[in-house]
């Protein structure tokens, strides 16, 4: 069974950050946040990484809750 790609996005000033990832690749996405936040050339900072990490956790929590209600 194939699942739709997941998406997290954020607008910061003139910049729009959109991250698409497949289920099971959350740790790779977190590594991308770390790489971007650690890059002095990037407008993406540690606060942005924290916000999107939190959003990803909330998204996963909602999915787990919906699965638990079905069972």
Per-domain residue ranges for the chain?
25-71
Whether the predicted pLDDT of 70 surpasses 70: no
- pLDDT classification of 69: cutoffs 50, 70, 90: confident
Q: What is the pTM of this model?
A: 0.82
* CB-neighbour burial class of residue 33 (10 A; exposed 0-12, middle 13-18, buried 19+): buried
Condensed to tens digits (0 to 9), the pLDDT of residues 23-58 reads 999 999 999 999 999 999 999 999 999 999 999 999
Residue 71: pLDDT above 80?
A: no
């Amino acid at each position: 069974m194939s699942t739709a790609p997941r998406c997290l996005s954020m607008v910061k000033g003139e910049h729009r950050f959109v991250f698409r990832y497949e289920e099971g690749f959350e740790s790779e996405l977190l590594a991308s946040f770390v790489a971007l936040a650690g890059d002095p050339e990037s407008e993406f900072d540690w606060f942005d990484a924290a916000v999107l990490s939190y959003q990803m956790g909330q998204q996963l929590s909602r999915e787990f809750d919906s699965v638990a209600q079905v069972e």
